[in-house]
Amino acid sequence: MFSFYNRDTSAEDLHSFNRVCYGISTTSNSSTYNNFKTNVYSLISMLASKSSSSPSIFYNTSSAAEIYPRAYGSYLCRGDLKEQVCQKCVSDVTGFLSRADITNSDCYGTGVYYNDPQCIVHYANRSTFDVYEKGRSLDSDSIGEKVTDYNNYNEKLSSTIQGLIREAELGNWTQPNFETRVVDVKGSNDEKIYVLVQCTPDITASNCSNCLGELYSRLPHCCNGTQGGYVAYGNCLIKYNNQSFFGRAYHSFLPKLWHVTLVLIVTLYIVFMEC
């Protein structure tokens, strides 16, 4: 496995892009390299076009070209973002990737706005649809200052994330691959922790839990004791902060499963009694 990290910051310093690559070199065979490069550029264009014409949180596809090797790819936007924000991020990241040399067979590009990861774009020379791959670390960073009450803050953060990981394994989220949580810090009258977790919707609930578990194990290395932080992998991401950062989706979740079940039971009971 080969990997590297590359950061590019715009002149206005509005956002940054990260690129992490795995897989084999594509430059050892000039014919294969040229074919794959052509297919990747075609694929990137397709992803950008899809996000613009019919925005969705997640989309995967492959290049239509018949020349070998075909390029496969996807994009994932954070589930709480507005369509326009997702669209802009995918457009920016695909543009960034199209300017980079296609020297490896498996690469990820991420868009981060002011310590705010917003989307991930991926391409490879093989299909990774429905596949969870361990160890695909993309980006991480701490947010804010050190917390004043480390023990209580860290205890609440850890228990919250571990709870979300268990819920992910059971598929018990309000959306299949996305959840947020707001919790109060013990001993504090007003401090809260805002937590967001997300997986690509093509992997199983069990693998989503496994991926988030990997992220959780990395949090101490990047963000220990700080007010916030994020870690992004190829199939999942976690972000938390002591200030609210959720977008519109936090306010438009579907009801919890037990809520739906309760309403259904009550409705059936009323109908039965009337009959």
What's the confidence (pLDDT) of residue 223?
93
- Report residue 250: phi and psi, to 5°: -60, -30
Q: Do domains 5-129 and 142-262 have the same CATH topology?
A: yes
Percent pLDDT > 90 in the chain is 59
Q: In whole angstroms, what separates CA 109 from the centre of its chain? A: 11
Could you tell me the residue ranges of all domains in the chain? 5-129, 142-262
Residue of higher predicted confidence among 121 and 63: 121
- Buried-exposed string 175-207: b where 16+ CB fall within 10 A, e elsewhere: bebbbbbeeebeeeeebebbbbbbbbbbbebeb
What's the confidence (pLDDT) of residue 170?
92
Fold held by 142-262:
Killer Toxin P4; Chain A (3.30.430)
Fold held by 5-129:
Killer Toxin P4; Chain A (3.30.430)
The model's pLDDT over 90-100, given as tens digits with 9 standing for 90+, comes to: 999 999 999 98
Least confident range from 57-61, 71-75, 112-116, 193-197: namely 112-116
